[in-house]
Amino acid sequence: MQRRVTFDNRLLPYLLLAPQVTVTLVFFIWPAANAIWQSVHLQDAFGIRSEFVWFENFTHVLSDPNYLDTLKVTVVFSIAVTVLAMGVALLLAVLADSKIKGARAYKTLLIWPYALAPAVAAVLWMFIFNPDIGSFGQALRALGYDWDYRLNGGQALVMVIMAASWKQVSYNFIFFLAGLQAIPRSVMEAASIDGAGPMRRFWTITFPLLSPTTFFLLVVDMVYAFFETFGTIHALTQGGPGKATETLIFRVYQDGVVNNDLGGSSAQSVILMVIVIALTAVQFRFVERKVHYA
């Protein structure tokens, strides 16, 4: 059976699509095209003249050992953020879905962090982890642990990972909770009558039935980790100390805006874009096969 909506006015469908198409054109296609154009050009120091240089910007970027370090940081950062944000959110959602007292208040509180601007969240984290004024930072130092993320790259990376994950937990939580609530109660009851304890029920029933949600969040969280964590990193560590917390997106900003290397920065954006498109395609190709859409 074919379902088809017919419009009397031939223009109306285009009119209805126009806002979405405009937004996509102005905020996605145009900047992307711009980045691609810039990535094959070299601008002079004053930004007046630019010269077509083929793939010189790309070879330049990819042969820079610093760039590979940044790539490594990005991989560690993205995997850690995705795993942490999803794992914690799933755990919290499972708890919220079970019969506990005050589940409503608990759910509301869990959703709040999502409404926080990255910079505000970062300031919050600073108040907690700053070695001099942060409560947790002071406590760590009082216990004799040499905590200073401004000097220790590893500590800095751990902190931005935690901050970035924390912001994404709320979002994941909402989706996981909705996914859990969509699983019929009687299916879980049937499993418990069939002899499955809570852990086994989770891994053989709940988790497989959640897989569409999990897959969706995997894609969203990865894109988040790659692109949307700029604000958090910028406010917390500015990519430092050294380049310990510099991710690809942060470096794009650093090279393009701060160091004024528009060609190199554009080449990096294009590379970043290709990476994310490739990763998403891989996920759809290989992970989605295992996903059960009920």
Partner 1 sequence: MATVEIRNVRKSYGPVEAIKGIDIAIQDGEFLVLLGPSGCGKSTLLRMVAGLEGITGGQIAIGGRVVNDLDPKDRDIAMVFQNYALYPHMTVFDNMAYGLKIRGIPKAEIRARVDKAANILELGRFLDRRPSQLSGGQRQRVAMGRAIVREPAAFLFDEPLSNLDAKLRTQMRVEIKRLQDRLGITSLYVTHDQVEAMTLADRILVMNHGVAEQIGTPLEVYQRPASLFVAGFIGSPPMNVLDGRIDDHGEVVLVPGGQRLPLPQPRPTDAGRPIKLGIRPEHLAVAAEGFSIEVELVEALGADTVVYGRLPDSETLLVRMAGIPTVRERDRLTVTPQDGALHLFDAVTGRRVE
Residues that bind partner 1 (CB under 8 A): 184, 186-187, 189-197, 200, 204-205, 208-209, 292, 294
Is 154 or 195 the residue whose CB approaches partner 1 more closely? 195
Q: Please tell me whether residue 50 adopts helix, strand or coil conformation.
A: strand
Least CB distance to partner 1 at residue 165 (A): 29
Residues 103, 109, 111, CA angle at the centre, nearest 5°? 105
Is 6 or 186 the residue whose CB approaches partner 1 more closely? 186
Q: What's the distance, CA 250 to chain centroid?
A: 13
Is 22 or 204 the residue whose CB approaches partner 1 more closely? 204
Q: Please tell me whether residue 62 adopts helix, strand or coil conformation.
A: helix
Least CB distance to partner 1 at residue 212 (A): 11
Q: Are 208 and 220 in contact (CB under 8 A)?
A: no
Is 118 or 179 the residue whose CB approaches partner 1 more closely? 179
Is 209 or 225 the residue whose CB approaches partner 1 more closely? 209
Least CB distance to partner 1 at residue 199 (A): 12
**Six-digit token pair at 94?**
């499972």
Q: Are 276 and 220 in contact (CB under 8 A)?
A: no
Identify the bridge partners of residue 52 per DSSP, sorted by sequence position: 41
Q: What's the distance, CA 56 to chain centroid?
A: 30
Least CB distance to partner 1 at residue 174 (A): 23
Least CB distance to partner 1 at residue 194 (A): 4
Least CB distance to partner 1 at residue 214 (A): 13
Identify the bridge partners of residue 50 per DSSP, sorted by sequence position: 43
Is 13 or 198 the residue whose CB approaches partner 1 more closely? 198
CA distance linking residue 281 with residue 119, whole number of Å:
31
Residues 244, 82, 158, CA angle at the centre, nearest 5°? 30
For residue 168, give the nearest of 211, 246, 129, 226 by alpha carbon.
226
